A and B are shown apart, each in its own frame.
Chain A
Amino acid sequence: DVKVTQSSRYLVKRTGEKVFLECVQDMDHENMFWYRQDPGLGLRLIYFSYDVKMKEKGDIPEGYSVSREKKERFSLILESASTNQTSMYLCASSLGSGTGYQETQYFGPGTRLLVL
């Protein structure tokens, strides 16, 4: 089974703090994704990575950065947390190139971040 883990289930931070959210997958997947999920807004893509040290902006990258130094690990960084970044953050991974049309994404359990 594919396993995607996230470093914390719940996190409380103060405005202006630097926040690190870690995601690890154990299936040697090439692609990794960071989303945030908010009521009424659904799932929105922040960043994704298709290879080590490679990253691409998603739909809402402002205020975030990412790091992928190793294939299995994809980190989301909030450089200076703000209250509008309070959200549920979801990491996902998928197998990658050579899989043809189907690209199933597997999600982690989520990190619920509260910024005060």
Chain B
Amino acid sequence: DAKTTQPTSMDCAEGRAANLPCNHSTISGNEYVYWYRQIHSQGPQYIIHGLKNNETNEMASLIITEDRKSSTLILPHATLRDTAVYYCIVRMVSGGYQKVTFGIGTKLQVIP
């Protein structure tokens, strides 16, 4: 799997958009970008994933650059409950199963 680079920590004011960047310059053509988050002492929560088009769901938006070497996760209106560690990973799965490996992630602190 390609490696990813994320800032160690970020702050965001409550109600504002949180933009979390991720660099994955060695991503290959058939690797997806995935985002998970982990709130303290809980299991990781899947947020969103994409291949090359921008994606949006009820939780967040994912913007992938045209060259696919970086992406941004956007939480449109951050709340205190969005305080968590956010993990960006790239994965290619063939054959049906492959382990998930998290890096250090970005610790997002939403400030009242």
**Interface of A with B (CB < 8 Å)?**
4, 30-31, 33, 35, 42-43, 45, 48, 50, 58-59, 88, 90, 92, 94, 96-97, 99, 101-110, 112
> What residues of B have a CB within 8 angstroms of the CB of A102 in the complex?
32, 49, 93
Cβ contact within 8 Å between B32 and A90: no
**Cα A59 to Cα B100 with chains together (Å):** 12
Tell me whether A105 and B43 are in contact (CB under 8 A).
no
State which of A4, A43, A103 has its C-beta within 8 Å of the C-beta of B93. Answer: A103
Residues of chain B lying within 8 A (CB to CB) of residue A35: 99-100
Count of interface residues, chain B, beta-carbon cutoff 8 Å: 23
Contact present for A101 and B102 (CB under 8 Å): no
Alpha-carbon separation in the docked complex, A97 to B97 (Å): 8
Instruction: List B33-76 residues whose CB lies under 8 Å from chain A.
Output: 34, 36, 41-46, 49
| B99 in contact with A59 (CB, 8 Å) | yes
13 contacts between A and B (CB under 8 A): A30-B96, A33-B97, A33-B100, A42-B102, A43-B102, A48-B99, A101-B93, A102-B93, A103-B93, A103-B97, A107-B36, A109-B42, A109-B43
Using Cβ atoms and an 8 Å threshold, which residues of chain B touch A103?
Answer: 91, 93, 96-98
Residues of B within 8 A of A99 (CB): 96
| Distance of A110 Cα from B98 Cα, bound (Å) | 20
Chain B, residue nearest A9 (CB):
B41
B-side interface residues toward A, CB under 8 Å? 30, 32, 34, 36, 41-46, 49, 91-94, 96-103
Which residue of A30, A43, A50 contacts B101 across the interface (Cβ within 8 Å)? A43
Which 8 pairs of residues, A with B, have the shortest CB-CB distance? A107-B43, A103-B93, A45-B99, A110-B43, A107-B44, A97-B96, A31-B97, A109-B43
Q: What residues of chain B lie closer than 8 Å to A104, measured between beta carbons? A: 34, 46, 49
Q: How far is the CB of A15 from chain B (nearest CB, A)?
A: 24
List 11 extra interface pairs beyond A33-B97, A50-B96, A88-B41, CB under 8 A.
A4-B43, A31-B96, A33-B100, A42-B101, A43-B102, A48-B97, A92-B100, A96-B96, A101-B94, A104-B34, A110-B43
